[in-house]
Amino acid sequence: MRKAVIPVLLVLSFYSNAQERKAADTTKTTDIQEVVVTSLGIKRQARSLTYSSQQIGGDELTEVKTPNLLNSINGKVSNVQINRTSGGIGGAVRVVMRGDKSTRNSQPLLVIDGIPVINSIGTSKIGSDGTISSGGGADSYNGSADAGDIFSSINPEDIQSMTFLKGASAAALYGSQGSNGAILITTKKGAAGKANLSFTSSLTFDKAYALPKLQHEFLQSHDAATNTYGDDSWGVAGSSKDYLKDFLRTGTTWTNSLTFSAGNEKSTSFFSVANTTNKGIVPVSNFDQYNVNFRNSSKFFDDKLTLDANIMASMQESKNRLTPGVYFNPIYQVAVLPRGVNFDQYKDYMYLDSERQIPAQNWYNLTGIRQNPYWILNRNASVSKNKNVYSSVALSYQINNWLTAKVRGNYTYSTSNTERDLYAFTVPSIAGSFGNGKMYYNNLETNAYYGDALLIGSPNISDNISFDFTVGASISDKKDVVTEIQSERLSVPNLFSLSNIYWSRGSGTYTIFTPHRQDQSVFASTTIGYKKMLYLDLTFRNDWSSTLFGSNYSGIDYESVGANAILSDIFQLPQAFSFWKVRASYATVGNALEPTYANPVPILNNGVITGYSAYLTKLFPPKPEFNKTFEVGTEIRLFKNRLNFDFTFYNSLVQNQYLRQVEAAPGLSDLSGTKIDINAGEIQNRGFEMSLSYDAIKGGDLNWTTTINASANRNKIMKLFPSEFYSGDNSFFDLVGGGNYNKLKAGGSFGDIYGTAFLRNDAGQIIVDAKGAPMVDPNSRKFLGNPNPKFILGFSNSFSYKNFKLDFLIDGKFGGKVLSLAEATYDYNGVSQRSADARRDGGVAIENAVYQNGTPYTGKTDAKTYYTTIGGQVAPNIAEAYMYEATTVRLRQASASYTFRVNSKYMREATVSVIGTNLFFFYKKAPFDPEQVSGVNPGGVGVDVFGMPITRSLGFSVKLNF
């Protein structure tokens, strides 16, 4: 009988869950009785969980530090896709777990020590309709700089562990705030006993590599008849310097951290202070950050009452964080500089204008959008200043041996201020025609409060039945003040002050937007266990959100149910099995609206109503999104816990997508061309995630652990617009931040790239005109590809021999297509290497091409004709020509360290390490890094808009424990 049962169970377990956990700041935990942190900071035995979670220790964040700690996660957690922004060091991070789920925001909730925290992502910018976008987008004329996020303000040395709750079941108790999953950060505490002092310092050198392939053998175009020179490089053969390579410098990142912990049986304390200083690879760019953290835990009244208080604060200042696009991008200006122009003579970027007696820009041509890169960096400089303060207090009282009451709360204050001042003599196409300069000012101020009360119990029912429950209520309140000012009407030139702006009705931009959201909730959960072999989870939550005021919903309720079975305890398995668990769960989670969607308010700009925060229709009143998720999983540990295997299959469907600014179909509005907001779309994500770790060598001086994380996600737009009003074939929805490229369409996938394509006949042959130039398909919204990887793999290894340790991580993202606007511009301007190759070869041979009459085209097309046809000044005329394979395999990070056991009176040990990140690619076809994005928005993924060059970091670190 047993032999018959085991194969059946193996087949069933194939469809199950991944849950890798590592003990904080130590090696991987293999004890099946381990306690893990779950929703609301509740601790549970890992064996009782009925959903997928994954945990990593703080040592994995500090081994090779990055200024934004989430960049250290890439490849270490399955099914977590992390995209860094093109701003560089300290920039924001776009993180999505189990695929994009919402047209508004798919970012997970951040939770610190069990209490939710507001994550203000990137720079907030208000559209005329009240839309708040974050950072840059896939737009060549982008002017928004990335201002970072709350993850970039956290000191990795303060973190004990991070837990990723990727599914709706895992994060259900967080309500609508956790609809996209949650990242739980547990910070360090002091320990009873001897005081500990630790100092860490790391210095890395950052170097750009894999730069665009540009030519330096054909010069600036010249019209002999008028003796004028053009802005392109379609001229005669010659030679010029590689100014881009000389322009970029070696950057440095220096991070220092000091931590102190002490305590006794009644009270423990942890204190840290840290600083990060970066000099970027682009001249006149830098980043500075300061962190301070203090946490105290104290016990009173015979240890029945526990007080836990924490405060974390940070200040950041960045100058000239790279802005994607062409307006304020010095890399663009150097790359397209006409060959033959002596850039060295323009390093003195300004001179004194004799007429106005103010500095003027020194450049070869001040028309259009061309500017001196050094003028941009010094006279169009962008400065961002962020301040974050997070404080929390938790009181826990043990009523008896099975019942505990908790009251907790936190307060978060953050400001993000970005200003860009354009001095007089900036080109008028950017600064306007007033002539005295222009001022850009963006400020986001956030005040957020959270409080809850919990009753947690574990009454003793019987020896065979366990019963754990949590009941509670919470309230959260978040107020934002978003201010945007743009004006060229400066009374006194180059005086950038609000009092120097000449205001007139309808001129410039002066917008203040004050969204306010409050959520009140009640919730309950219970876990019932039978002989520690079978477990049942049930959760319930109801949210009353102010964002639903004006809708037909007074609140949102959602539930989850999960169950697991410890097969290794139920059946007599072969001795090789140390542990085997299967589980399944189902959850529904709501996602409330933005604060002013259900109750629209006017958007005022300098005294003029420019739009409204929402455009509602009676046929489609606003309603919350609903995420319905099912998952099954297994966890198997073999050979005395040396081999751990975790697997999850999941399927989620998010309904009622909120679609903003949709053109009203006939019957939805009395006015032609009216924009409306509707809830209509359904987005499905289904896939698997897997983790496999093996202690290949264990127990002696030599140890080796290898880990594989793998995942695949398939996203599909099941529905988009109501079929009774819209045709599915021609109905598109533009994603925020996606420029004119990332669009949604029923039957497609989130992030699909659409654009112009080659005109082809029915046989798929490219059609050319009489000159041999490719013709453009009149349909400007052809599907070109999807940027999201079909499969993600992380492969890490850790070796240790006595006091020596070697670690490295290889990760790969397989599949997908990406678009480069930069390459199209290089072609159009004749500065790409392929344009030079084509000139030497006598033109471009177009494979499988025909004339309009069907006659095969076998000749070569003139290089300039071909590349000015498919390329573009700032965007491609034929975007299909600039789609690239997104697959990459890279050595993400590596470190080699040696620990000296000093054991002196004042020092215990010292560890010296050689570290590196983004070291090289084993495989990459795209001319840029496909995982880089312009900003943290639903759109913009997979579109290169002159982003930061690929950067390799090498350096060393020292850690001293006293």
Q: What is the CATH number of the domain that holds 165?
A: 2.40.170.20
> Cα(529)–Cα(566) distance, rounded to whole angstroms?
11
Identify which has the larger pLDDT, 139 or 686.
Answer: 686
Tokens (6 digits) for 826 = 């290089």
Mean pLDDT of all residues in 606-615:
81
pLDDT at 367: 86
Whether residue 25 lies inside any domain: the answer is no
Instruction: Please give the structure tokens belonging to residue 519.
Output: 């959520």
Give the count of domains, the chain: 1
* In a domain? residue 162: yes
903-910 average pLDDT score: 87
Q: What local confidence, expressed as pLDDT, does residue 615 receive?
A: 81
Flag whether pLDDT at 827 surpasses 80: yes
Residue 662 pLDDT level (bands cut at 50, 70, 90): confident
Residue 259 pLDDT greater than 60, yes or no: yes
Q: What is the pLDDT of residues 663-679, one digit of tens each?
A: 887 777 655 557 888 88
Which pLDDT belongs to residue 194?
Answer: 81
Residue 76 covered by a domain: yes
Residue 241 has pLDDT above 80, yes or no: yes
Least confident stretch, 12-21, 170-179, 259-268:
12-21
Using a cut of 0.75, tell me whether the model's pTM lies above it.
yes
**Domain annotation covers residue 871:** no
pLDDT tens digits, 500-518: 998 876 568 888 888 899 9
Which pLDDT score, from 0 to 100, does residue 138 have?
66
Average pLDDT of every residue of the chain:
88
Residue 243 DSSP SS3: helix
623-631: average pLDDT: 91
Which tens digits make up the pLDDT trace of 597-609? 888 888 888 878 8
Residue of 127 and 803 predicted with greater confidence: 803
Summarize pLDDT for 447-483 with one digit per residue, the tens.
Answer: 999 999 999 999 999 999 999 999 999 999 999 888 8
Mean pLDDT of 264-285: 94
CA distance 60 to 895: 11
pLDDT of 268 over the 90 cut: yes
360 occurs within a structural domain:
no
Q: What distance in Å separates the CA atoms of residue 126 and residue 141, rounded to the nearest whole number?
A: 16
Is the confidence at residue 583, as pLDDT, over 80? Answer: yes
pLDDT for the residue numbered 139: 65
Q: Apex CA 904: angle with CA 903 and CA 908, to 5°?
A: 40
Environment class of 427 (CB within 10 Å of its CB; exposed 0-12, middle 13-18, buried 19+)? buried
Residue 28 pLDDT:
41
Whether residue 465 is contained in a domain is answered as yes
| 203 occurs within a structural domain | yes
CB atoms closer than 10 angstroms to residue 859:
14
661 band by pLDDT with thresholds 50, 70 and 90: confident
User: What's the longest Cα–Cα distance across the chain?
Assistant: 100
Place 14 in a pLDDT band, splitting at 50, 70 and 90. Answer: very low
**Which pLDDT tens digit goes with each residue over 216-226?**
999 999 988 88
3-state secondary structure of 141: coil
Q: What is the domain range of residue 890?
A: 35-211+248-327+369-751+786-816+886-961
pLDDT band at 40 (very low <50, low <70, confident <90, very high): confident
Any domain includes 216 = no
DSSP 579-635: EEEEEEEEEEEEE---TTTSS--EEEETTEEEEES---BTTB----EEEEEEEEEEE
pLDDT of residue 904: 85
Confidence of residue 87 (pLDDT cuts 50, 70, 90): confident
Looking at residue 456, what is its pLDDT? 95
pLDDT confidence of 93, banded at 50, 70, 90? confident
**DSSP-assigned states of every residue in 889-928:** EEEEEEEEEEEEE---SS-SEEEEEEEEEEEEEEEE-SSS
